Amino acid sequence: MARRLIHARSGGAFSLGTKLTVAAPYLWLLGFFLVPFIIVVKISLSETALAQPPYAPALDVAAGWQGIQDFFAGLSFANYLTIAGDNLYVFSYLKSLKVAAVSTAILLLCGLPLAYAMARAPRAVRPLLVTLVVLPFWTSFLIRVYAWINILQRDGLLNQVLMWLGLIDQPTTWLATDTAVYIGLVYSYLPFMVLPLYASLEKLDETLLEAAADLGCPRWKAFFAITIPLALQGLGAGALLCFIPIVGEFVIPDLLGGSDAVMIGQTLWMDFFANRDWPVASAVAVMLVGLLMVPIAVYQHLQTREIEGR
Amino acid sequence: MRRMSVTNLVALALGLAFLYAPIVILVVYSFNASRLVTVWGGWSLRWYAVLIEDRAMIDAALASLGIAIASAALATLLGTMAALALTRMRFRGRLPFAAMIYAPLVMPEVITGLSLLLLFVAVDLDRGFFTIIIAHTTLTMCFVTVIVQSRLIGFDRSLEEAAMDLGCPPGRTFFAITLPLIMPAVVAGFLLAFSLSLDDLVIASFTNGPGATTLPIRIYSEVRLGVKPEINAVCTIFIAVISVVVITASLIGKSRDQGRGPPLAT
C-alpha cells in the first residue's frame, strides 16, 4: 500500500530509474544470450561453405523480400540428419550422459557425508568450514585439473605411493582413462554438490532427529527416514548443478581423458576448431541444449523456489 | 554446543584432505629444484626466475587481469540491477527474464562460447579483448544477480519504506539505505565475477581474436604438452593471489556483518 503511494508521489524520477534498472540487464541478456542462441539455431540449418564466414546461406537484407525468401529456401535439416546417422555423434552424446550420471552419483555419495558433517559441526566453526570448502573453488578450474595431471601421470605421486605401499608392482596408467576423468570431475564439482546440500541440511530441525531417537529409532534409520527426505530440495539442486554442466564439459575430459571415446563437448570443439564445420558444430550445440532442456527447467524451478519461497 | 561424532569428523577430514591435497602438492613441487617434475631435488626458486623471463606469459597474465577487472565491474553493475529488478519490481516479461538469468549458470560453456562467437561474426565485430569482456560479463552478471538477490530478500524492507515515507526520493533511498546494506553481497559478487573471468578458458577460446591471449589460454596450450615446472610456479602465484583476495574479502564481509548490530549504526 505504502509503496504504491510513494510510486504515485515521486512520479517521473522513480519510473525512469526503474525502467533503466530493468531495461539495462534485460537488453544485455536479450542481445548477448538469447539472440546469439537464435543465431546458433539458424546456422545449424545452414550448409558448410568455403567462405568467410564458413556457412551458407547468409541473410541478404539488401535484396529485400526476394533475399529473405532465398534465405529460408536455403535452410535445411541436413546437419541434424548427419548427426543422427553418424555413430560418432550418437556415442558421444551417450557417453556424455553416462559420464555425467555416474559422476553425479559419486558426487552425491561423497558430498552427502561431507555436507552432513558440516551441518552437524558446532555452530561457531560452520562458517569456517564453508570457507574451506569454497576456497579451492576460487582457485582456477584449469589449475585444479592440472594439479591432477601432476599426481596421475605415470611416474606421478599416486603410483609412487601405491608402489611404496606394495599395492602394485609397476606403475599403472591413470592418465587418459575414464577413471582420471571421474576423479577430475568429482574433484572439480564437489563444492557445487556440497553447498546446496549443506544449505538444506543446516536448516533441518534437529529436534526431529532427537524425537526419533527418543522413540527408539536407530540413527541410520532416522537419517534415511527424516534427514534425506527433508534435504531433497538441496539434493536435487546440487545434483542438477553438477549434472547439467558435466554433460557439456570440455576441459576435464580433454586433459585427463583418453582419445578413444570423447564427450560431446570435445566433439563440438573439434568440429568447430579443427574441422571448421560451423553448421555441424551449431547443430551439435542445439541438440545438446535440447537434451538438457528438461534438467535445466527443473533446475530453474528449484532455484526460483529456493530464492523466492523463503 | 554438541561434540561431533567420530564418523562426522572422519568425513570432514577426508573431504578436506581430498580438496586440498592436490593443490598443496602442486605448490610444493613449484619449489622443486629438479627439472624432472616427479623427482624431488630440494627447495629452489629457479622456476620463478624462469617465469620472470617469460614475456608471453606475463603479457597473458596482464591481459587476463584487465579483462577480469573490466568484466567484473560491468557484471556487478548489471547483475545488481537485475537483482533489484527481480526482487523489487513487477514488470511484464519477468518470467523470461528470470529464465535468462538462471540459464547461463548451468549452460555448458562450449554452448555459451560458440553462440557468442557466432553473434560477433554475424554483426562483423572484430574479435579481441573487447569481445572477451562482453562474453565474460554475460556469464558472470548472472552469478552476481543470484548473490545480491539472496541478500535483498534477506533484509528489512521497512527501512526503505520509512525513508520514502519521510520524503526521501527513491534514487537517494537506494544510495543511502539499500546499497550500504547489500554492499557485502555486491563485493562478493564482484569477486566471484572477477575470479570466474580470470579462470575461464572455454568461452575466451571461442571469443578471442588473434593476439588476444589470456592466461588460461596460455596455460592450456602449455599443459597440453605435459607437466612443466614453470607451470607449477605460475599456478602457485595464481593460487596465492586469489587466496589473499578471497580471505581479505571474507574478513571485510565478516567485520561489516558483526558491526551491523542495529542496522542504522552503519
For A47-105, how does the pLDDT look when each residue is reduced to its tens digit (9 = 90+)?
Answer: 776 666 667 666 666 666 776 777 776 777 888 888 888 888 999 999 999 999 999 99
Flag if B121 and A53 touch (Cβ within 8 Å): yes
Nearest-CB residue to B12 (from A36, A117, A153) = A117
Q: Please report the DSSP string for A51-75 in residue order.
A: SSSSEEPPP-GGGHHHHHHHHHHH-
Low-confidence ranges of chain B (pLDDT < 50): 1, 258-266
pLDDT digits (tens, 9 = 90+) for B45-102: 888 888 888 888 889 999 999 999 999 999 999 999 999 998 888 888 888 898 899 8
Chain A residue with minimum CA distance to B24:
A147
How many whole angstroms separate alpha carbon B113 and alpha carbon B103? Answer: 14
Chain A residue with minimum CA distance to B86:
A22
Grid coordinates of A140: 582456477
How many whole angstroms separate alpha carbon A38 and alpha carbon A170? Answer: 53
| Cα first-last separation, chain A | 22
What pLDDT does A8 receive? 40
> In the predicted model, is pLDDT for residue A9 greater than 60?
no
Domains of chain A: residue spans and CATH: 82-308 (1.10.3720.10)
Q: Does B198 touch chain A (CB under 8 A)?
A: yes
**Length of chain A, please?**
310
Percentage of chain A beyond pLDDT 90 is 28
Nearest-CB residue to B109 (from A160, A250, A304) = A250
How many whole angstroms separate alpha carbon B245 and alpha carbon B240? Answer: 9
**What residues of B are in contact with residue A141 (Cβ under 8 Å)?**
199, 201
Flag if B106 and A244 touch (Cβ within 8 Å): yes
Nearest-CB residue to A21 (from B84, B134, B224) = B84
Instruction: Return the CATH fold of B53-265.
Output: MetI-like fold (1.10.3720)
- Report pTM: 0.84
What pLDDT does A213 receive? 84
Higher pLDDT, A167 or A109: A109
How many whole angstroms separate alpha carbon B265 and alpha carbon A48? Answer: 64
B-facing residues of A in 277-306 (CB < 8 A) are: 278, 281-282, 285, 288-289, 292, 296, 299-300, 303-304
Nearest-CB residue to B81 (from A25, A116, A190) = A25
Higher pLDDT, B33 or A307: B33
- Tell me how close the Cα of A85 comes to any Cα of chain B, in angstroms: 22
What pLDDT does B265 receive? 27
